[in-house]
Each structure stands twice: as structure tokens, then as C-alpha cells.
């Protein structure tokens, strides 16, 4: 009975603390209509476990499981880390471990690849956007959060990591071995196209990509570019501030994005500043399903402010900020506390997969056209990997051609 009483008090206190923490950051007190009923159900279940479970529960494991279950019911970017896991992460940082060049997300219990950095170890090994990760070095990922999965991918440069991957084109998992290496150093490329159209291709918005983009954009303009294409396809990392700064290159003033709490209260409002503004040349923004996070901040601002037309596919839908909260026992909670909104009021990250993300002004290719291209690639006399690359290439070319077509009819100046 003493063990039972301690367990109930211990776990009940943990749950109340979590409610208190989340309530504080969302501007709500714990005495809400739904908090106490939830606690009542939790305590009832806990009593049943103590009364009827075949063995006496181990308090630390039950606590950890309860906390993970609570956090897993939130969103993909929240997480719970034990004291030991926090220590291991810190050790990895100190050792200078590297990853494989991917950005991950989670839907339900499934962790999958949002994008693969060009020229990265992951791309070289054949990993693709949309691949579902089943295990890393033989460890299943069903109960892992994104922080843990990223940490499992990291290790000393030149060491292998084995992935079990499921992809839609296969009936059996694909086994892929990737040699860990530092992320590519070239994150921004440029090209001068026909009709004096400058192409600025940003594959990542992690540091120092923004400064690299600023320098290369100015170089494009100095080289004679009269119109611009900003390519944010497959760009899925970086902070919201980085996306806002890229948008500021093309917006002299006005709103770029807002962050709001669960009550809809504006927590932060970010506006363009004249000193960061670079150009008002006519432009088009390219986006796809792997455009996420900071890139969505930039694309959403330019679209809603009617500074540029967007072409491609609906973006991924990743737009929230997280706060790390240290607990007394050394564990850490990572909680999403605000969500990002475009200037027009569109919430970037929504629970409904059909409405999350940002729809482009011009869908390219359409769903019917994409299906036609997929069928064409399927019947080509090539291996599966070559067919995939061919399809990606065809889609990419059609999107770029559409952007050039739009710029051909765009006025010669923009505000």
C-alpha cells in the first residue's frame, strides 16, 4: 500500500506539473473545464494498474512512459527527454558528431524524411523525401520523438548508420547504409537564365545560408538580372527569423509573419525593415511539398503581400516554435508554444493534412499532369532509382518553365 500511495502521488504530481507548464505558456490556468476530468481519468487508470497489474510497477519506467504518452499526443515537434538522454545529447554536441543531411518530421508514430540536402551523405546513399524510417541501426522508432531520431542519426564523421526504410514504390523495406558526414557547405546557388532572369536557389536556411543568399542575390542583380526566380523547393530547415530575413530582401516594409498562442493572442509580430531590403525586381517563388519551416515563412509573406506569385505544389506545413523546459529531475520537456501565421492570416501548421501548408498561386504540375508524368516514368526502361530521378527532373523542369512563362508577362517593376 505504501508503494501504491507513493506511485499515485508521484505520477499525479508529474501530470499536474505538465498541465501547469503547458497552461502557463498558453496563457491559461490549470483550473479549466477539461483539466480535472483528464486528471481523474489518469488517476483512475493508475489505480487499476496498481490493483490489477500482474507485477508491481517500476515507478521510474511508469513515469517515463506516462510523460512520453502525454507529449506524443501533442504535435510532432514536442518531446520528452530523460536526464540520461539529455546528457547523451550534450556529449554528442561536445564531440562534434555529424548527421547525414536530412530534415525529419513525424505523423502519428511514423518518422519520415521531409527533405534531403543536395550533395549530402543521405542523397548519395539514395534516401528520398517521403521515405519512412522504420529503424536506425536496428532500433525501432515507434516510441521515438524527432529529437531522439536526429540524435540516433548523428555520430562521428565517416562512421556508418544503417536505416530500414519504407517507401511507397516498394512492398518490402529498403535497407540503406549511410556514411555520416558534415552537411554540404554550399547551400545557395545562382544561375542566369534566358531573358535576364536570375535564379536564386536556396536549399537550406540554416546558418550561414542567409548571408550567402544576400551576397549571391546582389551579385545576380549586378550581373544584369532584370527578373528573379526564388527557388525554395526542398528547403526545410532554419529558424523563422531566417525565413523572415529572406522575405525582407524583397519587401521594404510591412508584416512578414505573426506568431500566436493557443488563444489566438499575438505573441510576436515581425515586420520588414528598409535597411535589409535589396530589390523590387519582378519575381516568382518556387515551392513544393518539401518546402517547410523558415522557407514557408518567406514564401507565405511574398505570396500574401502580392510581392511574388508562387508556383509549384502545396508546402509541407511546419510552422511552430518550441520551448525547452528543464524539470527538477533533470529531464527536459520540449513544448510547442506558438504557431506561425502568414500576413494574410493563414496558419502554416495545421493538424488536418489537407489544409496544412501554403497553396501556391499556380499549381504545377496539376494532379492529373503529375499522374501522367508518373505513368510515363513507370514505363521507361530504367531501374527504379533512375525512374524516380527522371520523374523529379520532369516535375522540376515544368515548374521552372511555368515560372519563366509567368515572368514573361509580368510588369517590369514591382513595389
**pLDDT tens, 8-23?**
444 454 454 444 444 4
Q: Indicate if the pLDDT at residue 32 is higher than 90.
A: no
The residue that leads in pLDDT, 55 or 98, is: 98
* Residue 310 Ramachandran class (φ > 0 left, ψ -120 to 50 alpha, else beta): beta
Which of 59-63, 125-129, 140-144, 359-363 has the weakest average pLDDT? Answer: 59-63
Separation between Cα atoms, residue 80 and residue 326, nearest integer Å: 10
Q: Indicate if the pLDDT at residue 77 is higher than 50.
A: yes
The residue that leads in pLDDT, 145 or 72, is: 145
Query: What is the per-residue pLDDT across 238-274, written as a single tens digit (0 to 9) for each?
Result: 999 999 999 999 999 999 999 999 899 999 999 999 9
Domains 83-179 and 188-320+338-408 are alike in CATH topology: no
Q: What pLDDT band is residue 27 in, cutting at 50, 70 and 90? A: very low
**In residues, how long is the chain?**
415
Q: Indicate if the pLDDT at residue 28 is higher than 50.
A: no
Edge to edge, the sheet with strand 188-193 lists: 188-193, 197-202, 227-231, 283-287, 309-312, 362-363
The residue that leads in pLDDT, 403 or 371, is: 403
What mean pLDDT do residues 216-231 have? 98
Q: Indicate if the pLDDT at residue 41 is higher than 50.
A: yes
CATH for the stretch 188-320+338-408 = 3.90.226.10
The residue that leads in pLDDT, 372 or 43, is: 372
Overall fold of domain 83-179: Pdz3 Domain (2.30.42)
Predicted confidence at residue 96, as pLDDT, reads 85
**Cell 539529455 belongs to residue:** 86
Predicted confidence at residue 26, as pLDDT, reads 41
What rounded mean pLDDT belongs to the chain? 87
pTM of the entire predicted model = 0.86
Q: Indicate if the pLDDT at residue 360 is higher than 50.
A: yes
All three cell numbers of 175: 535497407
What mean pLDDT do residues 363-383 have? 87
Predicted confidence at residue 409, as pLDDT, reads 64
The residue that leads in pLDDT, 227 or 330, is: 227
What mean pLDDT do residues 125-132 have? 96
Q: What pLDDT band is residue 411 in, cutting at 50, 70 and 90? A: very low
Asked if residue 130 lies in contact with residue 112, where contact means CB atoms within 8 angstroms, the answer is yes
Residue of 287, 339, 355, 343 lying closest to 315 (CA atoms): 287
Predicted confidence at residue 35, as pLDDT, reads 59
Predicted confidence at residue 109, as pLDDT, reads 81
The residue that leads in pLDDT, 232 or 88, is: 232
Separation between Cα atoms, residue 21 and residue 334, nearest integer Å: 11
Predicted confidence at residue 45, as pLDDT, reads 73
Q: Indicate if the pLDDT at residue 24 is higher than 90.
A: no
The alpha carbon of 3 is separated from its chain's Cα centroid by a whole number of angstroms, namely 43
> Between 367-378 and 384-408, two packed helices, what is the crossing angle to 10 degrees?
140
Instruction: For residue 33, list its beta bridge partners.
Output: none
Query: What is the per-residue pLDDT across 61-75, written as a single tens digit (0 to 9) for each?
Result: 767 777 777 787 788
What mean pLDDT do residues 378-384 have? 78
Q: Where are the domains of the chain?
A: 2-73, 83-179, 188-320+338-408
What mean pLDDT do residues 41-54 have? 73
Amino acid at each position: 500500500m505504501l508503494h501504491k500511495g507513493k506511485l499515485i502521488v508521484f505520477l499525479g504530481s508529474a501530470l499536474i506539473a505538465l498541465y501547469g507548464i503547458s497552461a502557463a505558456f498558453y496563457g491559461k490556468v490549470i483550473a479549466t473545464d477539461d483539466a480535472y476530468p483528464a486528471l481523474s481519468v489518469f488517476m483512475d487508470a493508475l489505480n487499476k494498474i496498481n490493483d490489477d497489474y500482474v507485477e508491481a510497477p517500476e515507478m521510474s519506467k511508469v513515469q517515463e512512459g506516462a510523460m512520453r504518452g502525454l507529449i506524443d499526443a501533442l504535435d510532432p515537434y514536442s518531446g520528452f527527454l530523460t536526464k540520461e538522454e539529455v546528457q547523451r545529447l550534450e556529449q554528442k554536441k561536445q564531440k562534434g558528431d555529424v548527421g547525414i543531411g536530412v530534415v525529419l518530421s513525424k505523423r502519428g508514430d511514423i518518422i519520415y524524411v521531409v527533405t534531403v540536402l543536395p550533395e549530402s551523405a543521405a542523397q548519395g546513399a539514395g534516401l528520398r523525401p517521403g521515405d519512412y524510417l522504420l529503424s536506425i541501426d536496428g532500433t525501432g522508432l515507434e516510441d521515438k520523438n524527432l529529437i531522439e531520431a536526429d540524435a540516433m542519426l548523428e555520430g562521428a564523421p565517416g562512421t556508418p548508420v544503417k536505416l530500414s526504410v519504407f517507401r511507397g514504390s516498394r512492398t518490402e523495406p529498403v535497407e540503406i547504409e549511410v556514411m555520416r558526414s558534415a552537411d554540404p557547405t554550399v547551400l545557395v546557388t545562382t544561375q542566369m537564365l534566358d531573358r535576364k532572369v536570375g535564379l536564386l536557389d536556396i536549399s537550406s536556411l540554416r546558418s550561414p545560408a542567409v548571408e550567402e543568399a544576400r551576397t549571391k542575390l546582389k551579385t545576380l542583380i549586378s550581373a544584369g538580372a532584370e527578373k528573379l526566380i526564388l527557388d525554395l523547393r526542398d528547403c526545410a530547415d532554419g529558424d523563422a527569423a531566417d525565413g523572415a530575413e529572406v522575405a525582407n530582401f524583397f519587401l521594404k516594409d510591412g508584416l512578414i509573419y505573426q506568431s500566436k498562442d493557443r488563444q489566438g493572442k499575438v505573441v510576436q509580430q515581425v515586420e520588414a525593415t528598409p535597411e535589409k531590403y535589396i530589390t523590387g525586381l519582378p519575381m516568382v517563388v518556387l515551392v513544393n511539398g518539401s518546402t517547410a519551416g523558415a522557407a514557408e515563412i518567406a514564401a507565405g509573406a511574398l505570396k500574401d503581400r502580392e510581392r511574388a506569385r508562387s508556383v509549384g505544389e502545396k508546402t509541407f506545413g511546419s510552422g511552430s516554435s518550441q520551448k525547452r523546459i528543464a524539470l527538477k529531475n533533470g529531464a527536459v520537456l520540449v513544448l510547442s508554444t506558438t504557431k506561425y501565421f502568414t500576413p494574410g492570416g493563414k496558419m502554416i501548421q495545421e493538424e488536418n493534412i489537407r489544409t496544412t501548408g501554403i497553396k501556391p498561386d499556380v499549381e504545377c504540375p496539376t494532379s492529373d499532369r503529375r499522374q501522367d508524368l508518373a505513368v510515363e516514368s513507370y514505363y521507361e526502361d530504367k531501374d527504379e532509382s533512375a525512374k524516380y530521378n527522371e520523374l523529379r527532373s520532369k516535375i522540376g523542369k515544368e515548374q521552372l518553365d511555368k515560372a519563366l512563362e509567368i515572368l514573361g508577362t509580368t510588369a517590369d517593376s514591382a513595389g
